[in-house]
Amino acid sequence: MATSTLPNLIGGEFVDAAPDRLIQVTNPADGSLVGTVPALTSDDLGAVFDAADAGARAWRAAGPLARGRVLLDAAALIRAEAGDLVELIVAEMGKTTAEATGEVGKTAEFFEYYGALGRQAFGELIPDARPGTFAMQTREPVGIVVLITPWNDPLLTPARKLAPALISGNAVVIKPATETPLITLRLAEILQRAGLPAGALGTVTGRGSEIGDALVDDPRIAAVSFTGSTSVGLALQRRLAGRGIRVQTEMGGKNAAVVLADADLDLAVPILMAGSFGQSGQRCTATSRLIVERQIADEVRVRLTDAISRLRVGAGGADGTDMGPVVSRGAQADIRARVEAGLAEGAEVIGRADVPADMLESGCFVEPIFVTVDRDNSLWREEVFGPVLSMIVVDSLDEAITAVNDSAYGLSSAVFTRSLEAAFRFVEAVDTGQVSVNQPTSGWDIHQAFGGFKESGSPFKEQGQEALRFYTRVKTAAVRTH
Protein backbone atom coordinates (compact mmCIF):
# COMPACT_ATOMS: atom_id res chain seq x y z
CA MET A 1 0.00 0.00 0.00
CA ALA A 2 1.11 3.58 -0.65
CA THR A 3 2.55 5.51 2.26
CA SER A 4 1.05 8.84 3.31
CA THR A 5 1.21 11.55 5.95
CA LEU A 6 -2.14 11.91 7.70
CA PRO A 7 -2.95 15.21 9.45
CA ASN A 8 -4.72 15.85 12.74
CA LEU A 9 -8.34 17.05 12.89
CA ILE A 10 -8.43 20.31 14.88
CA GLY A 11 -11.42 22.67 14.86
CA GLY A 12 -12.93 21.00 11.81
CA GLU A 13 -9.75 21.40 9.75
CA PHE A 14 -7.02 18.90 8.91
CA VAL A 15 -3.75 20.36 10.14
CA ASP A 16 -0.50 19.13 8.61
CA ALA A 17 2.64 18.50 10.62
CA ALA A 18 5.80 20.53 10.55
CA PRO A 19 8.33 18.66 8.37
CA ASP A 20 10.66 18.16 11.32
CA ARG A 21 7.92 16.88 13.67
CA LEU A 22 6.85 13.55 12.22
CA ILE A 23 6.37 10.05 13.65
CA GLN A 24 7.02 7.13 11.33
CA VAL A 25 4.63 4.18 11.45
CA THR A 26 6.11 0.87 10.29
CA ASN A 27 4.76 -2.55 9.41
CA PRO A 28 5.71 -5.02 12.17
CA ALA A 29 5.93 -7.89 9.69
CA ASP A 30 8.83 -6.46 7.69
CA GLY A 31 9.70 -2.98 9.00
CA SER A 32 8.48 -1.16 5.88
CA LEU A 33 7.12 2.37 6.21
CA VAL A 34 3.31 2.51 6.33
CA GLY A 35 2.89 6.25 6.88
CA THR A 36 3.69 9.24 9.05
CA VAL A 37 1.71 11.41 11.48
CA PRO A 38 2.41 14.71 13.24
CA ALA A 39 4.34 14.65 16.50
CA LEU A 40 2.42 17.36 18.35
CA THR A 41 3.92 19.15 21.34
CA SER A 42 2.22 20.40 24.49
CA ASP A 43 2.14 23.87 22.91
CA ASP A 44 -0.18 22.54 20.20
CA LEU A 45 -2.86 21.31 22.59
CA GLY A 46 -4.33 24.69 23.51
CA ALA A 47 -5.86 25.03 20.04
CA VAL A 48 -7.30 21.52 20.31
CA PHE A 49 -9.08 22.27 23.59
CA ASP A 50 -10.23 25.70 22.42
CA ALA A 51 -11.92 24.02 19.47
CA ALA A 52 -13.40 21.33 21.73
CA ASP A 53 -14.83 23.99 24.05
CA ALA A 54 -16.79 25.53 21.19
CA GLY A 55 -17.55 22.14 19.66
CA ALA A 56 -19.08 20.83 22.88
CA ARG A 57 -21.72 23.57 22.84
CA ALA A 58 -22.57 23.10 19.17
CA TRP A 59 -22.72 19.31 19.35
CA ARG A 60 -24.91 19.32 22.46
CA ALA A 61 -27.31 21.75 20.80
CA ALA A 62 -27.59 19.49 17.74
CA GLY A 63 -29.79 17.12 19.73
CA PRO A 64 -29.81 13.32 19.93
CA LEU A 65 -31.59 12.66 16.61
CA ALA A 66 -29.07 14.66 14.60
CA ARG A 67 -26.19 13.14 16.55
CA GLY A 68 -27.54 9.66 15.87
CA ARG A 69 -27.78 10.41 12.14
CA VAL A 70 -24.08 11.34 12.02
CA LEU A 71 -23.09 8.11 13.75
CA LEU A 72 -25.27 6.01 11.42
CA ASP A 73 -23.84 7.73 8.37
CA ALA A 74 -20.33 7.12 9.69
CA ALA A 75 -21.15 3.42 10.10
CA ALA A 76 -22.27 3.28 6.45
CA LEU A 77 -18.99 4.88 5.33
CA ILE A 78 -16.99 2.42 7.43
CA ARG A 79 -18.75 -0.50 5.75
CA ALA A 80 -18.34 1.02 2.28
CA GLU A 81 -14.60 1.56 2.82
CA ALA A 82 -13.95 -1.61 4.79
CA GLY A 83 -11.37 -2.97 2.36
CA ASP A 84 -9.05 0.02 2.72
CA LEU A 85 -9.49 0.09 6.51
CA VAL A 86 -8.67 -3.61 6.80
CA GLU A 87 -5.54 -3.16 4.71
CA LEU A 88 -4.37 -0.28 6.91
CA ILE A 89 -4.91 -2.21 10.17
CA VAL A 90 -2.99 -5.20 8.83
CA ALA A 91 -0.13 -2.94 7.71
CA GLU A 92 0.32 -0.80 10.83
CA MET A 93 -0.64 -3.27 13.57
CA GLY A 94 0.12 -6.70 12.09
CA LYS A 95 -3.24 -8.41 12.54
CA THR A 96 -4.30 -11.08 10.12
CA THR A 97 -6.74 -10.06 7.42
CA ALA A 98 -9.47 -12.07 9.14
CA GLU A 99 -8.84 -10.35 12.48
CA ALA A 100 -8.78 -6.89 10.89
CA THR A 101 -11.97 -7.64 8.95
CA GLY A 102 -13.70 -8.55 12.20
CA GLU A 103 -12.45 -5.34 13.81
CA VAL A 104 -13.78 -3.14 11.02
CA GLY A 105 -17.16 -4.86 11.10
CA LYS A 106 -17.49 -4.47 14.84
CA THR A 107 -16.45 -0.82 14.59
CA ALA A 108 -19.38 -0.17 12.25
CA GLU A 109 -21.66 -1.97 14.71
CA PHE A 110 -20.60 0.36 17.54
CA PHE A 111 -21.68 3.40 15.54
CA GLU A 112 -24.88 1.70 14.41
CA TYR A 113 -25.81 0.69 17.96
CA TYR A 114 -25.16 4.07 19.56
CA GLY A 115 -26.53 5.94 16.55
CA ALA A 116 -29.83 4.14 17.04
CA LEU A 117 -29.83 5.14 20.73
CA GLY A 118 -30.31 8.73 19.54
CA ARG A 119 -34.01 7.84 19.46
CA GLN A 120 -34.08 6.41 22.96
CA ALA A 121 -35.27 8.29 26.04
CA PHE A 122 -32.46 10.04 27.90
CA GLY A 123 -34.50 10.53 31.05
CA GLU A 124 -37.75 9.72 32.85
CA LEU A 125 -40.60 11.15 34.87
CA ILE A 126 -40.45 10.34 38.58
CA PRO A 127 -43.02 10.84 41.37
CA ASP A 128 -42.99 13.92 43.59
CA ALA A 129 -44.72 14.04 46.97
CA ARG A 130 -45.62 17.72 46.73
CA PRO A 131 -49.10 18.71 45.46
CA GLY A 132 -49.31 19.93 41.87
CA THR A 133 -45.73 18.95 41.17
CA PHE A 134 -44.04 16.47 38.90
CA ALA A 135 -40.36 15.66 38.70
CA MET A 136 -38.14 14.51 35.90
CA GLN A 137 -34.67 13.09 35.59
CA THR A 138 -32.66 13.85 32.47
CA ARG A 139 -29.22 12.92 31.20
CA GLU A 140 -26.93 15.49 29.66
CA PRO A 141 -23.35 15.44 28.32
CA VAL A 142 -20.50 16.03 30.73
CA GLY A 143 -18.58 18.32 28.32
CA ILE A 144 -15.09 17.67 26.98
CA VAL A 145 -13.88 14.08 27.13
CA VAL A 146 -10.30 12.90 26.54
CA LEU A 147 -9.90 9.40 25.11
CA ILE A 148 -6.54 7.61 25.25
CA THR A 149 -6.54 4.44 23.16
CA PRO A 150 -4.14 1.49 22.72
CA TRP A 151 -2.45 -0.11 19.76
CA ASN A 152 -3.88 -3.63 20.00
CA ASP A 153 -7.39 -2.74 18.71
CA PRO A 154 -6.55 0.53 16.99
CA LEU A 155 -9.95 1.05 15.35
CA LEU A 156 -12.32 -0.88 17.60
CA THR A 157 -11.28 0.69 20.91
CA PRO A 158 -11.61 4.26 19.62
CA ALA A 159 -15.07 3.31 18.32
CA ARG A 160 -16.00 1.70 21.66
CA LYS A 161 -15.32 5.04 23.36
CA LEU A 162 -16.19 7.54 20.63
CA ALA A 163 -19.67 6.25 19.83
CA PRO A 164 -21.18 6.53 23.34
CA ALA A 165 -19.28 9.78 24.03
CA LEU A 166 -20.59 11.39 20.84
CA ILE A 167 -24.20 10.21 21.03
CA SER A 168 -24.28 11.66 24.55
CA GLY A 169 -23.38 15.10 23.13
CA ASN A 170 -19.80 15.46 24.35
CA ALA A 171 -16.85 16.93 22.50
CA VAL A 172 -14.00 14.44 22.24
CA VAL A 173 -10.23 14.80 22.12
CA ILE A 174 -8.65 11.47 21.22
CA LYS A 175 -5.03 10.39 21.41
CA PRO A 176 -4.24 7.10 19.64
CA ALA A 177 -1.23 4.95 20.44
CA THR A 178 2.02 6.06 18.82
CA GLU A 179 2.47 2.61 17.21
CA THR A 180 -0.92 2.66 15.40
CA PRO A 181 -2.23 6.21 14.88
CA LEU A 182 -3.06 6.07 11.17
CA ILE A 183 -6.34 4.17 11.45
CA THR A 184 -7.69 6.56 14.11
CA LEU A 185 -6.97 9.54 11.85
CA ARG A 186 -8.82 7.76 9.05
CA LEU A 187 -11.78 7.26 11.41
CA ALA A 188 -11.75 10.97 12.28
CA GLU A 189 -11.86 11.81 8.58
CA ILE A 190 -14.85 9.49 8.14
CA LEU A 191 -16.71 11.08 11.05
CA GLN A 192 -16.04 14.53 9.65
CA ARG A 193 -17.45 13.48 6.26
CA ALA A 194 -20.47 12.02 8.04
CA GLY A 195 -21.33 15.50 9.34
CA LEU A 196 -19.61 15.91 12.70
CA PRO A 197 -19.39 19.67 13.39
CA ALA A 198 -16.12 21.51 13.93
CA GLY A 199 -14.63 20.91 17.36
CA ALA A 200 -16.83 17.95 18.27
CA LEU A 201 -13.80 15.76 17.61
CA GLY A 202 -10.12 16.60 17.79
CA THR A 203 -7.22 14.21 17.27
CA VAL A 204 -3.84 14.39 18.96
CA THR A 205 -0.91 12.36 17.70
CA GLY A 206 2.39 12.49 19.50
CA ARG A 207 4.63 10.78 21.99
CA GLY A 208 3.14 10.23 25.41
CA SER A 209 6.37 11.26 27.09
CA GLU A 210 6.07 14.70 25.45
CA ILE A 211 2.35 15.46 25.59
CA GLY A 212 0.85 12.99 28.09
CA ASP A 213 0.70 15.37 31.05
CA ALA A 214 -0.57 18.33 29.04
CA LEU A 215 -3.25 16.15 27.49
CA VAL A 216 -5.00 15.66 30.84
CA ASP A 217 -4.09 18.93 32.57
CA ASP A 218 -6.46 21.30 30.76
CA PRO A 219 -9.00 22.58 33.32
CA ARG A 220 -11.87 22.27 30.84
CA ILE A 221 -11.69 18.47 30.77
CA ALA A 222 -14.71 16.73 32.33
CA ALA A 223 -13.75 13.07 31.84
CA VAL A 224 -10.87 10.85 30.74
CA SER A 225 -11.29 7.33 29.38
CA PHE A 226 -8.11 5.26 29.08
CA THR A 227 -7.34 1.79 27.79
CA GLY A 228 -3.82 0.47 28.25
CA SER A 229 -1.40 -0.89 30.79
CA THR A 230 -2.21 -1.12 34.48
CA SER A 231 0.83 0.93 35.48
CA VAL A 232 -0.14 3.85 33.25
CA GLY A 233 -3.81 3.60 34.20
CA LEU A 234 -3.09 3.71 37.92
CA ALA A 235 -0.73 6.64 37.43
CA LEU A 236 -3.47 8.45 35.52
CA GLN A 237 -5.94 7.84 38.34
CA ARG A 238 -3.49 9.34 40.81
CA ARG A 239 -2.79 12.37 38.60
CA LEU A 240 -6.47 13.20 38.16
CA ALA A 241 -7.50 12.54 41.78
CA GLY A 242 -9.09 15.51 43.52
CA ARG A 243 -9.99 17.41 40.35
CA GLY A 244 -13.59 16.26 40.01
CA ILE A 245 -12.81 14.60 36.68
CA ARG A 246 -14.43 11.30 35.83
CA VAL A 247 -11.85 8.60 35.13
CA GLN A 248 -12.46 5.34 33.33
CA THR A 249 -9.53 2.93 33.08
CA GLU A 250 -9.60 -0.39 31.24
CA MET A 251 -6.26 -1.94 32.09
CA GLY A 252 -4.48 -5.28 32.16
CA GLY A 253 -5.66 -8.83 32.55
CA LYS A 254 -4.36 -12.26 33.46
CA ASN A 255 -7.39 -14.18 32.30
CA ALA A 256 -7.95 -17.78 33.33
CA ALA A 257 -9.87 -20.56 31.64
CA VAL A 258 -10.88 -23.60 33.70
CA VAL A 259 -11.40 -26.99 32.06
CA LEU A 260 -13.31 -29.39 34.30
CA ALA A 261 -13.20 -33.16 33.96
CA ASP A 262 -16.64 -33.31 32.30
CA ALA A 263 -15.79 -30.71 29.62
CA ASP A 264 -16.34 -31.34 25.93
CA LEU A 265 -12.72 -31.14 24.75
CA ASP A 266 -13.71 -31.09 21.07
CA LEU A 267 -15.42 -27.80 21.89
CA ALA A 268 -12.95 -26.48 24.46
CA VAL A 269 -9.59 -26.90 22.68
CA PRO A 270 -10.35 -24.78 19.57
CA ILE A 271 -11.87 -22.10 21.81
CA LEU A 272 -8.80 -22.12 24.05
CA MET A 273 -6.56 -21.77 21.00
CA ALA A 274 -8.51 -18.79 19.71
CA GLY A 275 -8.63 -17.15 23.11
CA SER A 276 -4.92 -17.65 23.77
CA PHE A 277 -3.26 -17.09 20.40
CA GLY A 278 -5.72 -14.98 18.43
CA GLN A 279 -4.27 -11.54 17.68
CA SER A 280 -0.91 -12.98 18.80
CA GLY A 281 -2.12 -12.95 22.40
CA GLN A 282 -2.30 -9.14 22.31
CA ARG A 283 -5.72 -8.75 23.88
CA CYS A 284 -6.46 -7.62 27.40
CA THR A 285 -9.00 -10.46 27.45
CA ALA A 286 -6.65 -13.10 26.02
CA THR A 287 -6.55 -16.45 27.82
CA SER A 288 -3.14 -16.62 29.46
CA ARG A 289 -3.80 -18.97 32.40
CA LEU A 290 -5.18 -22.48 31.96
CA ILE A 291 -6.49 -24.42 34.96
CA VAL A 292 -7.28 -28.07 34.26
CA GLU A 293 -8.82 -30.74 36.46
CA ARG A 294 -6.39 -33.60 37.02
CA GLN A 295 -8.44 -36.40 35.41
CA ILE A 296 -8.10 -34.86 31.94
CA ALA A 297 -4.85 -32.91 32.30
CA ASP A 298 -2.76 -35.27 30.14
CA GLU A 299 -5.29 -35.26 27.31
CA VAL A 300 -5.57 -31.46 27.36
CA ARG A 301 -1.76 -31.18 27.19
CA VAL A 302 -1.59 -33.49 24.19
CA ARG A 303 -4.42 -31.81 22.30
CA LEU A 304 -3.15 -28.28 22.86
CA THR A 305 0.44 -29.20 22.05
CA ASP A 306 -0.70 -30.66 18.73
CA ALA A 307 -2.89 -27.65 17.92
CA ILE A 308 -0.11 -25.18 18.71
CA SER A 309 2.39 -27.06 16.56
CA ARG A 310 0.05 -26.57 13.58
CA LEU A 311 -0.26 -22.78 13.97
CA ARG A 312 0.94 -20.96 10.87
CA VAL A 313 2.80 -17.78 11.82
CA GLY A 314 3.41 -15.13 9.18
CA ALA A 315 2.58 -11.70 7.81
CA GLY A 316 -0.96 -10.69 8.59
CA GLY A 317 -1.89 -10.19 4.95
CA ALA A 318 -0.48 -13.51 3.72
CA ASP A 319 -2.82 -16.33 2.78
CA GLY A 320 -3.16 -19.02 5.43
CA THR A 321 -1.68 -17.04 8.30
CA ASP A 322 -3.14 -18.00 11.68
CA MET A 323 -1.04 -15.63 13.78
CA GLY A 324 0.71 -12.45 12.72
CA PRO A 325 3.61 -10.54 14.29
CA VAL A 326 3.41 -8.65 17.54
CA VAL A 327 3.12 -4.90 17.19
CA SER A 328 6.73 -3.76 17.54
CA ARG A 329 10.35 -4.66 18.24
CA GLY A 330 9.83 -3.39 21.77
CA ALA A 331 6.88 -5.75 22.31
CA GLN A 332 8.86 -8.62 20.79
CA ALA A 333 11.79 -8.03 23.13
CA ASP A 334 9.53 -7.67 26.17
CA ILE A 335 7.71 -10.95 25.49
CA ARG A 336 10.98 -12.80 24.93
CA ALA A 337 12.41 -11.43 28.16
CA ARG A 338 9.34 -12.45 30.14
CA VAL A 339 9.45 -15.97 28.69
CA GLU A 340 13.14 -16.33 29.50
CA ALA A 341 12.52 -15.15 33.06
CA GLY A 342 9.67 -17.63 33.48
CA LEU A 343 11.78 -20.49 32.17
CA ALA A 344 14.59 -19.54 34.57
CA GLU A 345 12.02 -19.74 37.38
CA GLY A 346 11.13 -23.31 36.42
CA ALA A 347 8.45 -23.10 33.72
CA GLU A 348 8.58 -26.04 31.28
CA VAL A 349 7.74 -25.65 27.59
CA ILE A 350 5.45 -28.47 26.43
CA GLY A 351 4.28 -27.03 23.11
CA ARG A 352 5.32 -24.41 20.60
CA ALA A 353 4.92 -23.43 16.96
CA ASP A 354 7.91 -23.41 14.67
CA VAL A 355 8.83 -19.94 13.41
CA PRO A 356 11.79 -19.72 11.00
CA ALA A 357 14.80 -17.89 12.42
CA ASP A 358 14.88 -15.42 9.53
CA MET A 359 11.30 -14.36 10.31
CA LEU A 360 12.14 -13.82 13.96
CA GLU A 361 14.98 -11.54 12.93
CA SER A 362 13.38 -9.67 10.01
CA GLY A 363 10.00 -9.03 11.61
CA CYS A 364 8.37 -8.66 15.02
CA PHE A 365 7.43 -12.33 15.31
CA VAL A 366 7.25 -14.38 18.51
CA GLU A 367 6.94 -18.12 18.89
CA PRO A 368 3.59 -19.08 20.44
CA ILE A 369 4.32 -21.36 23.39
CA PHE A 370 2.48 -23.52 25.95
CA VAL A 371 4.12 -24.04 29.35
CA THR A 372 3.46 -25.68 32.68
CA VAL A 373 4.26 -23.57 35.74
CA ASP A 374 3.86 -23.32 39.46
CA ARG A 375 1.69 -20.58 40.91
CA ASP A 376 4.60 -18.37 41.92
CA ASN A 377 6.05 -18.20 38.41
CA SER A 378 6.04 -14.76 36.81
CA LEU A 379 4.42 -16.21 33.68
CA TRP A 380 1.46 -17.15 35.89
CA ARG A 381 1.38 -13.87 37.81
CA GLU A 382 2.30 -11.12 35.37
CA GLU A 383 0.64 -9.99 32.15
CA VAL A 384 2.78 -11.01 29.17
CA PHE A 385 0.59 -9.56 26.37
CA GLY A 386 1.81 -12.10 23.88
CA PRO A 387 1.16 -15.67 22.67
CA VAL A 388 2.05 -17.49 25.90
CA LEU A 389 -0.32 -19.93 27.65
CA SER A 390 0.56 -21.25 31.12
CA MET A 391 -1.08 -24.30 32.72
CA ILE A 392 -1.58 -25.68 36.21
CA VAL A 393 -3.48 -28.76 37.42
CA VAL A 394 -6.13 -28.77 40.19
CA ASP A 395 -8.24 -31.41 41.91
CA SER A 396 -11.63 -29.70 42.20
CA LEU A 397 -13.86 -26.85 41.08
CA ASP A 398 -13.30 -25.07 44.39
CA GLU A 399 -9.53 -25.22 43.92
CA ALA A 400 -9.95 -23.93 40.37
CA ILE A 401 -12.03 -20.96 41.53
CA THR A 402 -9.43 -20.14 44.18
CA ALA A 403 -6.72 -20.20 41.49
CA VAL A 404 -8.75 -17.91 39.20
CA ASN A 405 -9.21 -15.37 41.98
CA ASP A 406 -5.60 -15.52 43.16
CA SER A 407 -4.54 -12.64 40.94
CA ALA A 408 -4.15 -8.89 41.08
CA TYR A 409 -6.29 -8.76 37.95
CA GLY A 410 -9.99 -9.41 37.50
CA LEU A 411 -10.94 -8.86 33.88
CA SER A 412 -12.24 -12.07 32.31
CA SER A 413 -12.52 -15.79 33.05
CA ALA A 414 -14.10 -18.89 31.54
CA VAL A 415 -15.12 -22.40 32.54
CA PHE A 416 -15.66 -25.44 30.33
CA THR A 417 -18.14 -27.93 31.75
CA ARG A 418 -21.33 -29.86 30.98
CA SER A 419 -22.64 -29.27 34.52
CA LEU A 420 -25.14 -26.46 34.96
CA GLU A 421 -24.49 -26.50 38.70
CA ALA A 422 -20.73 -26.10 38.22
CA ALA A 423 -21.25 -23.36 35.65
CA PHE A 424 -23.37 -21.22 37.95
CA ARG A 425 -21.12 -21.83 40.95
CA PHE A 426 -18.26 -20.54 38.84
CA VAL A 427 -20.18 -17.49 37.58
CA GLU A 428 -21.12 -16.53 41.12
CA ALA A 429 -17.75 -17.15 42.76
CA VAL A 430 -15.13 -15.76 40.38
CA ASP A 431 -13.92 -12.22 40.96
CA THR A 432 -13.86 -11.07 37.33
CA GLY A 433 -15.96 -8.51 35.51
CA GLN A 434 -16.57 -10.82 32.55
CA VAL A 435 -17.38 -14.54 32.88
CA SER A 436 -17.91 -17.12 30.13
CA VAL A 437 -19.23 -20.68 30.16
CA ASN A 438 -18.02 -22.82 27.26
CA GLN A 439 -16.91 -19.64 25.48
CA PRO A 440 -13.55 -17.83 25.30
CA THR A 441 -12.40 -15.17 27.73
CA SER A 442 -12.37 -12.75 24.78
CA GLY A 443 -15.01 -11.71 22.26
CA TRP A 444 -17.60 -9.59 24.08
CA ASP A 445 -20.37 -8.01 22.01
CA ILE A 446 -21.01 -4.29 21.63
CA HIS A 447 -24.28 -4.19 23.61
CA GLN A 448 -22.84 -6.14 26.56
CA ALA A 449 -21.30 -4.11 29.40
CA PHE A 450 -17.54 -4.62 29.49
CA GLY A 451 -14.91 -4.03 32.16
CA GLY A 452 -12.90 -5.69 34.88
CA PHE A 453 -12.45 -5.69 38.64
CA LYS A 454 -9.40 -5.09 40.84
CA GLU A 455 -6.38 -3.82 38.86
CA SER A 456 -8.07 -4.56 35.55
CA GLY A 457 -10.42 -1.60 35.59
CA SER A 458 -12.36 1.17 37.23
CA PRO A 459 -15.99 1.24 38.42
CA PHE A 460 -17.27 2.59 35.08
CA LYS A 461 -18.06 -0.08 32.49
CA GLU A 462 -17.76 0.30 28.73
CA GLN A 463 -20.13 -0.86 25.96
CA GLY A 464 -23.90 -1.23 25.96
CA GLN A 465 -26.16 1.27 27.65
CA GLU A 466 -23.97 1.03 30.75
CA ALA A 467 -21.35 3.11 28.90
CA LEU A 468 -23.72 6.09 28.82
CA ARG A 469 -23.40 6.40 32.60
CA PHE A 470 -19.81 7.52 32.19
CA TYR A 471 -20.42 10.02 29.39
CA THR A 472 -23.54 11.64 30.88
CA ARG A 473 -24.54 13.30 34.13
CA VAL A 474 -28.00 13.16 35.74
CA LYS A 475 -30.06 16.29 36.33
CA THR A 476 -33.24 16.13 38.42
CA ALA A 477 -35.89 18.83 38.01
CA ALA A 478 -39.13 19.38 39.95
CA VAL A 479 -41.89 21.40 38.26
CA ARG A 480 -44.92 22.83 40.10
CA THR A 481 -47.81 23.29 37.67
CA HIS A 482 -50.38 24.89 39.98
Structural domains of the chain sorted by starting position, each given as residue range(s) with its CATH number in brackets: 4-251+457-479 (3.40.605.10), 255-445 (3.40.309.10)
Mean pLDDT for 240-251 is: 96
Q: Please, which residues bridge with residue 195 across strands?
A: none
CB 108 within 8 A of CB 79: yes
Mean pLDDT of the chain: 96
pLDDT of residue 257: 98
Per-residue pLDDT, averaged over 99-107, amounts to 98
If pLDDT is split at 50, 70 and 90, which confidence band does 19 have? confident
Q: What angle do CA 364, 177, 144 make, to 5 degrees?
A: 170
* Model confidence at 417: pLDDT above 70: yes
How sure is the predictor about 437, in pLDDT bands with cuts at 50, 70 and 90? very high
pLDDT on residue 16: 87
Residue 196 carries which DSSP code? Answer: P
Active site residue 250: yes
- Does 101 have pLDDT greater than 80? yes
Cα distance between residue 185 and residue 111, in whole Å: 16
pLDDT band at 3 (very low <50, low <70, confident <90, very high): low
pLDDT at 160: 98
Q: At what angle do helices 97-116 and 64-80 cross, to 10 degrees?
A: 160
Question: Mean pLDDT over residues 244-270, rounded?
Answer: 98
Per annotation, catalytic residue among 99, 103, 112, 250: 250
Q: How far apart are alpha carbons 434 and 444 in whole angstroms? A: 9
Query: What is the structure's pLDDT at 1?
Result: 66
106-139 pLDDT per residue, tens? 999 999 999 999 999 888 999 999 999 999 999 9
**φ, ψ (nearest 5 deg) of residue 177:** -65, 145
Residue 343: how many other CB atoms lie within 10 Å: 16
| 429 vs 24: CA distance, rounded Å | 47
Mean pLDDT, residues 460-466:
96
Closest CA to 370 of 273, 284, 267: 273
Catalytically annotated residue among 103, 179, 284, 455: 284
pLDDT of residue 319: 94
pLDDT at 4 over 80: no
pLDDT tens profile 76-94: 999 999 999 999 999 999 9
- Distance CA(32)–CA(329), nearest Å, equals 13
What are the start-end ranges of the E strands in 395-433? 409-410, 412-416
Distances (CA, A) of 359 to 66, 92, 320, 384: 50, 17, 16, 21
Per-residue pLDDT of 379-401, as tens digits, reads: 999 999 999 999 999 999 999 99
Give per-residue pLDDT as tens, 264-301: 999 999 999 999 999 999 999 999 999 999 999 999 99
Per-residue pLDDT at 2: 65
**pLDDT reading at 475 higher than 70:** yes
pTM of the model: 0.96
